[in-house]
Structure 1
Amino acid sequence: MGSVCISMNGKMLYSHTTGYSSMEGTHAVSANENTKYRIASITKMFTAAIIFQLIQEGKLDYSNTLDQFLPGLPGASKITIAMMMSHRSGLHNILDDPDYPNWKSQPKTKEEVLKMINRYPLDFAPDSKAAYSNTNYILLGYIIEEKCGKPYSEKQVEADMSILAGAGALLSTPDDLNKFIQGLYAHKLFKSRYLLHMQSITDGFGMGMTEFVYGEHKAYGHTGSIDGFNSQLEYFPDDKLAIAYCSNGLSIPIADVLNEVHSIVYQALEEYK
């Protein structure tokens, strides 16, 4: 079940939805093009984009250290904005907490989340290597809230959004995801140099983006997975092609679905040429 949207040069080529937006016993509501899905870690792309906007506006700098905003956390005086964006901070991923399944549905205040983060020492010295950690983007979300004066999260039923914040709190549609990533690459959100930082991959991570390689085709974007929701957003710069897929129920891996989508799209493009 889910929705897919394919766009090129800023125009939608194809959109399709299958399955249900909700199922309760014998009652089911069909999904449509307006159905919103939890996009989980694709949220990190939005968080990174807002950080770049704040940097462009002179309200933040790559070299700002975590202790300037959230003092007292492990290694805070040595961890910079840039390190958190690139997963190079060493901050432990609190979603790896063994008790996470027991407390993930419980709303948490910012202070409670910070207390949980403070339980764990750094996994490694800041900037010595890279390791994926949701904690980085949770904290970046807090920094955004402070600078913008607006809350990032909306409460949800499963993993509560007060926990995930800038790491995975958003809901969206594939069409809106495509509009977002096309806006990034059209330099509508910030100057081109910030996009270069965003997609510069070191040790497997960019700043809010990862890289996907399909044969001779290369894309940038992010994946997301939480509580039965799976999503992926990709942009192929050479072809100005955006593909977004969001699902709330899979019987085969999302990578297999997208491999078939890529095959069909590029076969069609070759035939068109």
Structure 2
Amino acid sequence: MQLKPIFLSLLFLLLSFQSATAQTYEKKIDSLILTGFGNTNEPGGAFLATKKGKVIYRKAFGKANLELDVNMTPDNVFQIGSMTKQFTAVAILMLEQQGKLNVNDPVSKYIKDYPSGDKITIHHLLTHTSGIKDFTKMKALSGIAQKEMKPEMMVDFFKNEPVDFAPGEKFEYNNSGYVVLGYIIELVSGQTYEDFIKKNIFEKAGMSHSYYATDRLLIPKRAYGYHQKEYGFVNKTVISFSVPFSSGSLMSTVDDMLKWQQALNQNMLLNAAETKKAFQKYKLNNGEEFTYGYGWHLKDINGTPDREHGGSVFGFKSMGVYIPSEDIYVIGFSNCDCHSPTEITRNIAKIVLQSGKK
């Protein structure tokens, strides 16, 4: 009969240990984030860390709107910039799974007049090895930045620029390639990129707070974007989201991005064979391997392989890290391009990874 008090004591100790562990996590991660997001009267950010699907950290810092003096919450919606490329890559693989295209198809199969389109493949576009000119590096960009551009107009904007290198010769991060991919998604599916992503990814994964970016429509819990000048903060530069298009025009929340990661893990959107294509390293023409799959950088955290990608668009920065072996996912968003969540997010992943190995 003496077992009951002993059992209760052990249970109490276990719960106390778990609580202490959670508090240690929280203190470590708090101190890490506060180095960059410590001012409560500035634009801020939201961070989420999970392990094996369980949320171990979820907090927001600073202001979602400076003019209205609104505090940031973990529910706020951010522009995610180049993390959009993950969705574009998966959309392409979904179309391949449906038999509507092949990643080894030449671009000319879909865009007849694309210069050297018979030599550039969808695979080259996905892996940033196409050599086509990155439109973000073109001086003429300012002339179209606020114009409403159809995907075909965007492709026409850069397609006749001299190439930087032959397809497959080197890896060089390239936004233009992902704009071409978005146009191909529209041509093959018969849907707009926005509708395709919404119906085939957001709705299937239950991402009810994710959107194709807009400055016109009302977005509940939108975080407003800012730049920092010498004299203080200003509202973000206005651009037409039809310009970054499928290379950087989506919006989401930290919780929805977790749903995205879980949908990929559970093969909810792609079968295992197609999913594998996104997360394997590929080789250049000379046989040299590079550290990018389809829409993700494939690197490591303290020697443990991870999948990661960041984003930067006027007024916002984002970063996501996933460690497959430990099922650790960390996502960080900022609503000022003066505060980068990149290293903080990677360092949070290190803390969670190290704690699991003790």
Summarize deviations over 1:20-68 as a string: whole Å, max 9, x none: 22223xx222222221111111111011111111111111112221112
**Stretch moving more, 100-109 or 87-96:** 100-109
How far apart, CA to CA, are the structure 2 residues paired with 1:55 and 1:214?
31
The one-letter amino acid paired with 2:111 is L
Amino acid at match of 1:15: R
Distance 2:322 2:172 in 1: 23
Shift of 1:161: 1.4
Give 2:88's aligned residue: 47
- In structure 2, do the counterparts of structure 1 residues 119 and 134 end up closer, same or farther at CA, with 3 Å as the change threshold? same
For residues 275 and 106 of structure 2, the distance between their equivalents in structure 1, rounded to whole angstroms, comes to 22
Q: Which residue of the partner structure matches residue 262 of structure 2?
A: 182
How far apart, in 2, do the equivalents of 1:266 and 1:44 lie?
A: 26
Q: How far apart are the structure 1 equivalents of 2:239 and 2:162?
A: 24
| Cα distance between partner residues in 2 of 1:28 and 1:145 | 40
Q: Please tell me the residue identity of whatever aligns with 1:148.
A: S
**Which residue number corresponds to residue 194 of structure 1?**
274
Matched ranges for 1:94-109 at <5 A: 94-109=135-150
- Tell me which of 175, 187, 196 is aligned to 1:134: 175
CA contact (8 A) 1:65 1:78 kept: yes
- Match status 1:21 vs 2:64: yes
Gaps of 5+ in 2: 1-43, 195-211, 216-237, 283-289
1:139-178 equivalent positions in 2, closer than 5 A: 139-153=180-194, 154=212, 156-157=214-215, 158-178=238-258
With over 3 angstroms needed to count, the CA separation of the structure-2 counterparts of 1:248 and 1:199, relative to structure 1, is same
Q: CA deviation at 1:186?
A: 2.4
Q: Counterpart of 1:44 in structure 2: which amino acid?
A: K
SS in 2 for 1:163: coil
Which position in structure 1 is the counterpart of 2:37?
Answer: none
Q: Residues 63-142 of structure 1 correspond to what in structure 2 (within 5 A)?
A: 63-142=104-183
Deviation at 1:267, TM superposition (A): 4.5
Question: 1:19 & 1:36 partners in 2: Cα distance?
Answer: 14
Larger radius of gyration: 2
CA distance in 1, matches of 2:353, 2:153: 48
Matched, 1:31 2:67: no
The Cα of 1:16 is off from its aligned counterpart by 0.8
Kept in 1, the 8 Å contact 2:317–2:339? The answer is no
1:244 maps to what in 2? Answer: 331
Q: Is the 8 A contact 2:130 2:166 kept in 1?
A: yes
Alpha-carbon distance change, 121 to 204 in structure 1, aligned in 2, over 3 angstroms: same
Counterpart residue type for residue 299 of structure 2: F
Question: Structure 1 counterpart of 2:45, which letter?
Answer: G
Aligned equivalent of 2:315: 228
- Which residue of structure 2 lines up, in the alignment, with residue 266 of structure 1? 353
- Higher mean C-alpha displacement, 137-146 vs 156-165: 156-165
Q: Which residue of 1 is the match for residue 306 of structure 2? A: 219
Residues 107 and 29 (structure 1), Cα distance of their counterparts in 2 relative to 1, 3 Å cut = farther
Paired residue type of 1:240: D
Code of the aligned partner of 1:21: A
Deviations 1:117-142 (A, max 9, x none): 13302211112222111111111111
Contact 1:36 1:171 in 2 (8 A): yes
Larger mean CA deviation between 105-114 and 161-170 belongs to 105-114
Q: Which whole-Å CA distance do the structure 1 matches of 2:214 and 2:340 have between them?
A: 25
Q: Using a 3 Å threshold, how does the CA distance of structure 1 residues 21 and 150 change in structure 2: closer, same or farther?
A: farther
The one-letter amino acid of 1:236's match is: I
Give the whole-Å Cα distance in 2 for the aligned partners of 1:155 and 1:185.
Answer: 26
**Counterpart code for 1:18:** F
Identity %: 27
- Given the superposition, is the C-alpha separation of residues 224 and 238 from structure 1 closer, same or farther in structure 2, using an over 3 Å criterion? same
CA offset at residue 74 of structure 1? Answer: 2.0
Q: Which residue of 2 aligns with 1:205?
A: 292
Greater shift, 78-87 or 196-205, is seen at 196-205
Q: CA contact under 8 A between 2:77 and 2:251: conserved in structure 1?
A: yes
Shift of 1:8: 2.2
- Is the contact made by 2:334 and 2:340 (CA closer than 8 Å) also made in structure 1? no
Task: Call closer, same or farther: CA 1:251–1:72 in 2, change over 3 Å.
Answer: closer
Cα distance between partner residues in 1 of 2:187 and 2:124: 19
Identify unmatched segments of 5+ residues in structure 1. Answer: none
Work out which of the residue numbers 51, 71, 79 in structure 2 matches 1:8.
Answer: 51
Helix, strand or coil at the partner of 2:261: helix
For these two proteins, the number of residue pairs brought into alignment is: 269
Task: Read off the aligned partner of 2:313 and give its amino acid letter.
Answer: I
